[in-house]
Amino acid sequence: MLSDRASLSLRIAAGLGLLFLHLPIALIFLYAFTTEERSYAFPPPGLTTKWFAVAWQRPDIWEAFWLSLQVAAIATALALVLGTLVSAAMSKARFFGREQISLLILLPIALPGVITGIALRTAFGEMGIPFSTLTIILGHATFCIVIVYNNAVARFRRLSGGILEASADLGANAFQTFRHVLLPNLGTALLAGGMLAFALSFDEVIVTTFTAGQQSTIPIWMLEELIRPRQRPVTNVVAMLVFAATFIPILLAYYLTRNGSDVAGSGK
Amino acid sequence: MPAPAIIQPKGLSDRLTALFWRRPRLLLGLLLVPPLFWLGVVYLGSLFSLLIQSFYSIDEFSGMVVPEFTLKTYAELFRAANLDIIIRTLLMAAAVTLGAALIAFPIAYYAARFAKGRWKAVFYLGIMLPLWSSYLVKVYAWKLILAKEGIVTWAAGITGTSSLLDAVLALPVVGGGSLSTSYIGMFLVFTYVWLPYMILPMQASLERVPTSMLEASADLGATRAQTFRTVVLPLAMPGVIAGSIFTFSLTLGDYIIPQIIGNSASFIGMAVYQLQGTAGNTPLAAAFAVVPILIMLAYLGFAKRAGAFDAL
């Protein structure tokens, strides 16, 4: 007979697997409060909140934080426009080259980040574009498009073509249909896609190291601390805050789309 | 006579609507031009310029890039030291893929087949949150875990398995001074970081295994293990392969983890980063970058034949 209950060993293996996924992250929270300055000693000799105050007063952290915020916001906005356009076109019609275009959209995240990074770097170098905030944004928008696209195209698939025809029959022009019919229907999918794109951009490091000039985003700041640790407890605090900054948009994206068949985030 | 049932166009937007209706291709073109300009020009253009760079060479005396077509740079890839880097990266990618598949399977299987209602949501978020949460923070967490004074050493001390840990670290090649400076540590971090990418496609393909098929198998007298081996596993294979595309590709290109965890042996991603940065040898860096592209293209071709794209 077909059993509806999992065997004990499967339940243990699945449970341990989930623990394996989450324990390391929990540890970050513990270490943000440690009193130990020089090493990663476990268990922490004592707990303190003073590192939050120290981190708060560091201008380099604030600068990196604002830059990350700025880059993520602009890259997300660009990706939202471009991703929506391409998903509208792809769900609207079958046309020559459609397969190739869908491959092209996927490419920036299918290829290893180091390749996207070095490709953009050589291209910027050859065109004589100086590395700046702009080049970071260009890089981020490239791989954020696919995130928005995935969410929007899933919603388009569920949307019946009939409501667009109904809108036209009732006398709405293309722009009115977009504003009053399409946009409200796409709304949560775009919001979710935007949140995920934001989270992805906010903590992206691989492409950024190639396209940034002298500036540091928060992940680049963290990477430098990882390679050459200066003040470990401050890094612990920043790590926890970065985790929180990406955690919240992801959770929001999930709640925005959880009632649909295609939940945001099932593909990164 | 009644007025014709056609609303007269008022203003530009109505006229455009009529135009789009008569020429749907025009609208399609307008929708596609901006994103395709971006991806086609900015991105493909960049990839193309990278490819061209890989056919240039570097002047040994001046250290300047010589912009003339040559295969010399590619020949350099086959020097022993460079070949070592490529083989080391491939072996690591294969090991990580295997490890991730083994850990991922029970999670994906339970989530797809047995988790109901509330637990379904727990599993979904439990896989999604680590997938999307900050990559660097995850690597950092493992730096804390694997450090000599960290939690693993502490746990081994408490449970009296310190000698076992020392024995593992004393292993040739994969061992090292501490977990955070050994291949074992690097393997663990890679497996951890890419694990969700393996779980999701696996779960998707397992969810598509029809319950009726499992019932039929049970009715025909198969034991749980037989059903699993002969029905579930073959049907889950496309998902496994789809997941392996991610774990393999991501490991091939990563240069952060080998820099932070491990014994500073070079990997493809690191070689690319260092060659174009400090060494200033962009042509060789570009040639190195072409290696994972070729490997992934071959891998994707194989995956497509195995039906893995339906599981994405």
pLDDT attached to residue B192: 95
Which CATH number is B72-126+186-311 given?
1.10.3720.10
pLDDT attached to residue B2: 58
Domain residue ranges of chain B, discontinuous segments joined by +:
72-126+186-311
Token pair for B217: 């198998």
pLDDT attached to residue B70: 84
Q: How many domains does one find in chain A?
A: 1
Tell me which chain A residues have a C-beta less than 8 angstroms from the C-beta of B6: none
Q: Are A88 and B31 in contact (CB under 8 A)?
A: yes
Nearest-Cα distance to chain B for A56, in Å, is 19
pLDDT attached to residue A74: 96
Can you give the CATH number for the domain in which A117 is found? Answer: 1.10.3720.10
Mean pLDDT of A124-130: 84
Tell me which chain B residues have a C-beta less than 8 angstroms from the C-beta of A199: 132
pLDDT attached to residue A70: 93
Give the list of residues 6+ apart from residue B263 with CB closer than 8 angstroms, or none: B176, B181, B182, B183
Percent of chain B beyond pLDDT 90? 16
> A258 vs A261, which has greater pLDDT?
A258
Residue A40 is assigned to a structural domain of this protein: no
User: What are the pLDDT digits (tens) for A38-90?
Assistant: 777 777 777 788 888 888 888 888 888 999 999 999 999 999 999 998 888 88
Of A88, A148, A178, A108, the closest CA to residue B33 belongs to A88
pLDDT attached to residue A260: 59
pLDDT attached to residue A26: 87
Tell me which chain B residues have a C-beta less than 8 angstroms from the C-beta of A101: 32, 36
pLDDT attached to residue A98: 78
CA distances from B3 to A104, A170, B6, B9, B139 (A): 50, 17, 8, 15, 72
Tell me which chain B residues have a C-beta less than 8 angstroms from the C-beta of A118: 50, 272-273, 276, 285-286, 289
Residue A72 is assigned to a structural domain of this protein: yes
Token pair for A105: 């959209």
* Record: contact B125-A126, CB cut-off 8 A: no
Of B199, B202, B203, B195, the closest CA to residue B112 belongs to B203
Residue A157 is assigned to a structural domain of this protein: yes
Confidence label for A3 from pLDDT (cuts 50, 70 and 90):
low
* Record: contact A40-B127, CB cut-off 8 A: no
pLDDT attached to residue B188: 94
Omega cis (within 30) before A43 = yes
A101 touches chain B (CB under 8 A): yes
Give the list of residues 6+ apart from residue B169 with CB closer than 8 angstroms, or none: B175, B176, B177, B178, B179, B182, B184
Residues of chain B under the 70 pLDDT cut = 1-9, 308-312
pLDDT attached to residue A78: 94
pLDDT attached to residue A2: 58
Residue A47 is assigned to a structural domain of this protein: no
pLDDT attached to residue A261: 52
User: What are the pLDDT digits (tens) for A210-256?
Assistant: 888 888 888 998 888 888 878 788 888 888 888 888 888 888 888 87
Average pLDDT of chain A to the nearest whole number: 83
pLDDT attached to residue A44: 78
| Segments of B64-132 assigned E as strands | 65-66
pLDDT attached to residue B176: 78
Residue A148 is assigned to a structural domain of this protein: yes
* SS3 state of residue B305: helix
User: What are the pLDDT digits (tens) for B121-146?
Assistant: 888 888 888 888 888 889 988 988 88
Q: Which domain holds residue A147?
A: 58-257
